[in-house]
Structure 1
Amino acid sequence: MTPEQTGHAVRRELCNRILVVTVDNPPVNALGANVRRQLRDAIQAAEKDPDVDAVLLVGAGRNFIGGADIREFGKPPLPPSLPEVCNTIEACRKPVVAAIHGAALGGGLEVALAAHFRIALGAARLGLPEVTLGLLPGAGGTQRAPRLVGAKAALDLMLSGRHVGAKEAHALGLVDLVGETDDVLAEGLAYVQALLDAQAPVRRTRDADGLADRAASRAAIEAARAESSKKSHGLFSPLKIVDAVQAALELPFDDGLRHERQLFLQCLDSPQRAGLIHAFLAEREVLKAPETRNAKPRKIASVGVVGGGTMGAGIAVAVLDAGLPVTMIERDDVSLARGLAHIEKVYDNLIAKGRMTPEAKAAVLARWNGSTSYDALGTADLVIEAVFEEMTVKHAVFAKLDRVCKPGAVLATNTSYLDIDAIAASVSRPGDVVGLHFFSPANIMKLLEVVVPAQVSADVVATAFDLAKKLRKVPVRAGVCDGFIGNRVLAIYRAAADHMMEDGASPYQIDRAVRAFGFPMGPFQVADLAGGDIGWATRKRRAATRDPQQRYVQIADRICERGWFGQKTGRGYYVYADGARTGKPDPEVESIIDAERERAGVTPRAFSDEEIMRRYMAAMINEGANVVHQRIALRPLDVDVTFLYGYGFPRHRGGPMQYADTVGLDKVLADIREFAQQDPVFWQPSPLIVDLVERGATLASLNHAA
């Protein structure tokens, strides 16, 4: 092979009359403007060069093309556009073959679809996941994919955003061949040579007949439209994707491309696109904590879990699923057996759903060990305490861990609220103590708050982030305070909901309004799911230090006093008949609310859903800003990620801090000051919001200040 031309982001080399065009734009070969221009130029040069018989497109490194450069979204477009590049590839009169290894996602797959033939290696991942960013495939993907694989399969790929492997891609018709080795260049060259030897004609995807059965295509489109209308929860792009595929069926190809572009630009201009891309980028940015920049994580080869309740068992499952051995400690054999039963129930449910075999379960549980003696933790590299949320209990556990754990073992607490500085100060090795606040169910929820006490060693924080990666969690660094980031903010917006309930809005109206905003559940449904006794215990713990001037709504206490703790007792704010997971409004709860309003001297008034959300979000945003102002969260995006992954905040809105910028901080501040006229103790504007409004700045401007 002899180099013909070397580009900065796209290399060209001639091999036996085959021009190998290699996209080399680390880390994922994203389709930035430079790549697009050089890719177009390479195809045009091949077209004119009499020494070139065919073109082979490959990616350098571990991927074919990972997708568009999303940093360009929302900025003035730089030529050439990706549709222009794809059309240039497809129009080439010489065969163009895409050899795919690693990721061919979004625009990367659209480039491959524009090629005339496709080969994929075994580990390839193909997909059109633009919907997860509030977009649609805008470089011909909505027009070429249905023509290649049919409307139903194309819609499934685009509406789910899922990735498919090489074998499934071949079965669908996305690729023509699956390579037999992992050498993408050798496989690609061999395939191109075979096509040349067979004198295979250029075969353009625009001419494929996947939509030939018009009745089946139309039925698939209508089914997808009905399903998207039901499940998209107000999302903008799914129905635009359906519209684009309908255009593929009804319009000539070039007209369909123009319609796709119009729909793509509508999505690009949508606030949902900005919110979803902010969420995408923020999830990656939270990994950059100060302690992780220079410190090396400690080795974690074995993990101990103290406590076999719901949370402890969930943590154990998460660790087992990561392939690590777990030693669980409980106070007696009965509790230990109950903890193991909790773990087995998770895997038995997977077996019942056909997602796991009994043999696989047995292999996982072979890594589990249980004991009633703390001495069994002597060799553990990291121990996570998940016992009752009471400081004296935590201190007792940590005293034992301090005694039995080896030097250098990381000692973590899963406390939701308690002072981790105080826990760390109770042992002889405070530098080894860190908070790992999991969210229930711990084996499913992606958020992991890494709580950083004052004396912790940087390598312990780095170890916590490394563990999060192993557990497939999204870690957010948090400082020490009552509730850290998430639960501290939750306490405030939940109080705002309680105030509205006492002032006249029913809990059921508030829950409906919050769901309509995009949350999967309202605050009172969440309370029933979590268990009312948890919050009740916290309120009783805080009672002695509560500001007597601060409004305190007692409705939740009255409900808990009746033993109604939510789903687990069959009653809470809702009634759960016969073990139902979805509750129904309870007239007795409404009677309790009426009685409490009378006791508190409140004359109830009507609330609109719009006012409910203004108050709910103003409380969330204001306390989120306080958390950033006090450096409990490093940046506004840390608050956003906490709420996206731990509290069900609607992803298309980007998180509460991103939403505040979208609405306008000046409007949020005006709301807070309006509400303060009725309750100046609760509604105190965050100094950070006041400062930013005075300077005309946004919360987003602080996201790179840490």
Structure 2
Amino acid sequence: MSAEYLVNGSVAVITLNNPPVNGLGLATRTAAVEGIRKALADDAVKAIVITGAGKAFSGGADIKEFNSPKALTEPSLHTLIRTVEDSTKPVVAAIHSVCMGGGLELALGCNYRIAAPGAQMALPEVKLGLLPGAGGTQRLPRVLGLEMALNMIVSGTPVASDKLAQTALFDAVTAPGADLLAAAVAFAGTVADRRPLPKVRDRKVDYPNHEAFLQFTRNTVKAMSGPFPAPLQCVETVAASVTMKFEDGLKFERERFMQLIQTSESKALRHAFFAERVAGKVPDVPADTPTRDIRRAAVIGAGTMGGGIAMNFVNAGIPVVLLETRQETLDKGLATIRKNYENTLKKGKLTQEKFEQRLALLSGTLVYEDIGQADIVVEAVFEDMGVKETVFRKLDAVMKPGAILASNTSTLDLNRIAGFTGRPQDVIGTHFFSPANVMKLLEIVRGAATGKDVLATTLALSKKLKKTGVVSGVCDGFIGNRMIEQYSRQAGFLLEEGCLPEQVDKAAEKFGFAMGPFRMGDLAGNDIGWYIRKRRYVEAPAISYSASADLLCELGRFGQKTGAGWYDYKPGDRKAYPSALVDDMIVKHSADIGVERRKVSDQEIVERLVYSLVNEGARILEEGIALRASDIDMVYLTGYGFPLHRGGPMFYADTVGLPNVLSAIEKYAKGRHGDAWTAAPLLLTLAAEGKTFNG
């Protein structure tokens, strides 16, 4: 049942019923239109109430129908709203919980609106690179005023109904705990005979000197919206509510909506939206897989990473014990966490009560036996197999049966780590990204023996920790670091051939990366890559690297933490200053290996960096390390600063066209270090068949 119809006295009640958020899919729209027509044909019915079943009035368009013919099949959302607006009997919207997007546009088409307190009101289309396309930009300013409507539409941020209680959006906001439907039915009875019926479309938007305000808003929004066209188009369509007749404004809104839906930026945002929702779905782990209770946690290692991981648990209200080997290190780790919370408190982003609650959930120990009753323990020690072995053998001895043993390893073989225990089914990889209390990505590594309940529990935990959990199989570097290694190799080769760090970084940042490869290396610590390369020289001697990064590390230039890396840094200043010493070292290194330096274009820099990610991503996909191309995109969007408006490396490759990507790879394969450019078989196949990674 997608919408229910019943008559309560002289009032017809239409209840949208399309779980979980009553999305306005075709079946729901059809049933709602039929309900209104039925009410209009019944002489006993004097008024109509529209509400939503369960936990929402309506969350808007049904995301399951996005990009499908059903989204445009009649009755469209426009038709539903017009049917409501043309009703000869008063229509009252009874709004609770969630009223967003098309749901709010539907409510604006009603004659009256009654809301429960705390209902979340929003037109969030801008977050998908769109603007409200069913009259939202024309009707909302007519009830909220120009300024408030613009803020809501340009930001897409929800506002609680209580905060809008004094505006013309609502005719009433019920008292906390009151029966909303009963109140709406009673209200409908009192307005049943009032004529003419009030319509939002008949109201005027009055704003003195609106031209100056709109121009100021255009300038502000343009400066803040970066590569995304939607925020500025939102301003233009809202402006039409002041400068045009209602029907002309609706037409203008529709034109702009149709333009935006075709933009690569909107396609990228919609791709990311769906990718995030599908990332937690694992084909052989059904949604009803039993999960384990996570009531207590422990973290091994109180360094930067361990401290950040502990903060995630504390922020989610889960008590956590930090374990260290030395009191001095433990005290330092606990003090750092306390200082982080103090800073948040000073900024007003945390109340004193929450501050105290969080610190009360945190404790430390030097004794493994003290963590034995934790439901999950996350190891965050040095990235060395010998160190991991010591930790996991101890954990196997002290942890209670059924505890999840998680490793924060970023590259090491999780199956070997699981083999150090007598319970490999309880071992899983939870690769957090630094700073762990900030970064959204959690790479969840599924070992060969990892239990399905352990995987389901960890995926559920990632949501509780407000992370985007992406599942990876076991290989060196998993999804993210295995790909970034190819990216870093190309960055090194570019230095040998003619670039300097600043040129490479600027080209990458102009493309949209949050940071270029060399600034990223300085932030993460160049010694980490050095350690991995030393391991590679022994385990995989056939893989070639530029020696420039090793030369840098031999000078002790590990990045921001040492005040010098690829760039120079000043005390208390994170800004990267080009280093003459490093530039000279790079130029000399080219001469030493007999490479004549050349001018390299920004296009070549970007193609080599991005397509190296794509090519390795194709291998990861083919090997089944990643379940789907969109999972790879999620890893890069949430963990590596890949530009959101390009949708992730695999989606970007689809946008460029796989034959074009392949052609570039074949060109670079003829150059220096051509061995790094063997095209992945999956890329060859998809390009030949005219298919895409995300098809």
TM-score, normalised with respect to structure 2: 0.95
2:124 pairs, out of 125, 129, 145, with: 129
Q: Which residue in the other structure is 1:333 paired with? A: 327
CA distance in 2 between partners of 1:286 and 1:274 (Å): 18
Q: Which residue in the other structure is 2:186 paired with? A: 190
Classify the secondary structure of the residue corresponding to 1:411. Answer: strand
Classify the secondary structure of the residue corresponding to 2:188. Answer: helix
Q: Which residue in the other structure is 1:469 paired with? A: 463
Q: Which residue in the other structure is 1:163 paired with? A: 158
Q: Which runs of 5+ in 2 are unaligned?
A: none
Q: Tell whether the 8 Å contact from 1:152 to 1:221 is kept in structure 2 after alignment.
A: no
Q: Which runs of 5+ in 1 are unaligned?
A: 1-7, 702-706
Report the CA distance between 1:369 and its aligned residue.
1.7
Q: Which residue in the other structure is 2:439 paired with? A: 445
2:643 pairs, out of 640, 650, 660, with: 650
**Alpha-carbon distance change, 646 to 510 in structure 1, aligned in 2, over 3 angstroms:** same
Q: Which residue in the other structure is 1:3 paired with? A: none
RMSD between aligned residues: 1.9
Report the CA distance between 1:513 and its aligned residue.
2.1
**Alpha-carbon distance change, 560 to 150 in structure 1, aligned in 2, over 3 angstroms:** farther
Q: How many residues in Structure 1 have an aligned counterpart in Structure 2?
A: 690
CA distance in 2 between partners of 1:182 and 1:424 (Å): 54
- 1:204-224 CA distance string (max 9 Å, x none): 212334x31232x43443233
Report the CA distance between 1:420 and its aligned residue.
1.1
Classify the secondary structure of the residue corresponding to 2:438. Answer: coil
- Tell me if 1:411 matches 2:411: no
Task: Map 1:671-690 to 2 at 5 A.
Answer: 671-678=664-671, 679-690=673-684
CA distance in 2 between partners of 1:345 and 1:291 (Å): 43
Report the CA distance between 1:291 and its aligned residue.
5.0
Report the CA distance between 1:152 and its aligned residue.
2.1
Task: Map 1:229-628 to 2 at 5 A.
Answer: 229-290=222-283, 292-293=285-286, 295-548=289-542, 550-628=543-621
**Alpha-carbon distance change, 513 to 155 in structure 1, aligned in 2, over 3 angstroms:** farther
2:92 pairs, out of 69, 94, 97, with: 97
Q: Which residue in the other structure is 1:4 paired with? A: none
CA distance in 1 between partners of 2:208 and 2:564 (Å): 52
Report the CA distance between 1:608 and its aligned residue.
2.3
- 1:571-598 CA distance string (max 9 Å, x none): 3223333322332333332222212222
CA distance in 2 between partners of 1:443 and 1:201 (Å): 56
CA distance in 2 between partners of 1:108 and 1:25 (Å): 12
CA distance in 2 between partners of 1:411 and 1:286 (Å): 22
Task: Map 1:4-43 to 2 at 5 A.
Answer: 8-43=1-36
1:697 pairs, out of 687, 691, 694, with: 691
**Alpha-carbon distance change, 84 to 372 in structure 1, aligned in 2, over 3 angstroms:** same
CA distance in 2 between partners of 1:574 and 1:148 (Å): 54
The one-letter code of the counterpart of 1:81 is: S
CA distance in 1 between partners of 2:66 and 2:365 (Å): 54
Q: Tell whether the 8 Å contact from 1:151 to 1:220 is kept in structure 2 after alignment.
A: no
Q: Tell whether the 8 Å contact from 1:381 to 1:409 is kept in structure 2 after alignment.
A: yes
CA distance in 2 between partners of 1:96 and 1:268 (Å): 31
Q: Which residue in the other structure is 1:222 paired with? A: 215
Classify the secondary structure of the residue corresponding to 2:321. Answer: strand
- 1:381-432 CA distance string (max 9 Å, x none): 1100111111111111111111111111111110111111111111222221
- Tell me if 1:138 matches 2:165: no
**Alpha-carbon distance change, 96 to 582 in structure 1, aligned in 2, over 3 angstroms:** farther
**Alpha-carbon distance change, 13 to 401 in structure 1, aligned in 2, over 3 angstroms:** same
Report the CA distance between 1:434 and its aligned residue.
0.8
Q: Tell whether the 8 Å contact from 1:74 to 1:268 is kept in structure 2 after alignment.
A: no
The one-letter code of the counterpart of 1:466 is: A
Q: Tell whether the 8 Å contact from 1:432 to 1:457 is kept in structure 2 after alignment.
A: yes
Q: Which residue in the other structure is 1:109 paired with? A: 104
CA distance in 1 between partners of 2:178 and 2:677 (Å): 61
CA distance in 2 between partners of 1:597 and 1:382 (Å): 50
CA distance in 2 between partners of 1:542 and 1:395 (Å): 20
Report the CA distance between 1:95 and its aligned residue.
2.2
CA distance in 1 between partners of 2:218 and 2:595 (Å): 47
Classify the secondary structure of the residue corresponding to 1:576. Answer: strand
Report the CA distance between 1:142 and its aligned residue.
0.8
- 1:470-505 CA distance string (max 9 Å, x none): 212111111111110001101111211222232123
CA distance in 1 between partners of 2:529 and 2:215 (Å): 46
**Alpha-carbon distance change, 400 to 172 in structure 1, aligned in 2, over 3 angstroms:** farther
- Tell me if 1:68 matches 2:65: no
**Alpha-carbon distance change, 391 to 139 in structure 1, aligned in 2, over 3 angstroms:** same
Classify the secondary structure of the residue corresponding to 2:133. Answer: coil
Q: Tell whether the 8 Å contact from 1:453 to 1:479 is kept in structure 2 after alignment.
A: yes
The one-letter code of the counterpart of 2:599 is: A
**Alpha-carbon distance change, 585 to 195 in structure 1, aligned in 2, over 3 angstroms:** farther
TM-score, normalised with respect to structure 1: 0.94
**Alpha-carbon distance change, 195 to 526 in structure 1, aligned in 2, over 3 angstroms:** farther
Q: Tell whether the 8 Å contact from 1:122 to 1:182 is kept in structure 2 after alignment.
A: no
Report the CA distance between 1:543 and its aligned residue.
2.2
Classify the secondary structure of the residue corresponding to 1:97. Answer: strand
**Alpha-carbon distance change, 545 to 124 in structure 1, aligned in 2, over 3 angstroms:** same
CA distance in 2 between partners of 1:189 and 1:573 (Å): 69
Report the CA distance between 1:200 and its aligned residue.
7.5
The one-letter code of the counterpart of 1:158 is: I
CA distance in 2 between partners of 1:324 and 1:171 (Å): 39
**Alpha-carbon distance change, 623 to 344 in structure 1, aligned in 2, over 3 angstroms:** same
- 1:681-702 CA distance string (max 9 Å, x none): 100100111122233322123x
CA distance in 1 between partners of 2:336 and 2:298 (Å): 16
Report the CA distance between 1:635 and its aligned residue.
1.5
CA distance in 2 between partners of 1:391 and 1:257 (Å): 63
The one-letter code of the counterpart of 1:429 is: R
CA distance in 2 between partners of 1:504 and 1:462 (Å): 49
2:652 pairs, out of 659, 668, 690, with: 659
Report the CA distance between 1:317 and its aligned residue.
0.6
Q: Tell whether the 8 Å contact from 2:118 to 2:162 is kept in structure 1 after alignment.
A: no
Report the CA distance between 1:71 and its aligned residue.
4.2
Q: Which residue in the other structure is 1:179 paired with? A: 174
2:78 pairs, out of 80, 83, 86, with: 83
Report the CA distance between 1:103 and its aligned residue.
1.5
The one-letter code of the counterpart of 2:483 is: V
**Alpha-carbon distance change, 254 to 580 in structure 1, aligned in 2, over 3 angstroms:** same
**Alpha-carbon distance change, 494 to 190 in structure 1, aligned in 2, over 3 angstroms:** farther
Identity rate, percent? 44
**Alpha-carbon distance change, 182 to 336 in structure 1, aligned in 2, over 3 angstroms:** farther
CA distance in 1 between partners of 2:14 and 2:488 (Å): 57
CA distance in 2 between partners of 1:166 and 1:288 (Å): 33
CA distance in 2 between partners of 1:421 and 1:241 (Å): 51
Q: Tell whether the 8 Å contact from 1:73 to 1:268 is kept in structure 2 after alignment.
A: no
Classify the secondary structure of the residue corresponding to 1:625. Answer: helix
Classify the secondary structure of the residue corresponding to 2:574. Answer: coil
CA distance in 2 between partners of 1:96 and 1:35 (Å): 17
The one-letter code of the counterpart of 1:362 is: E
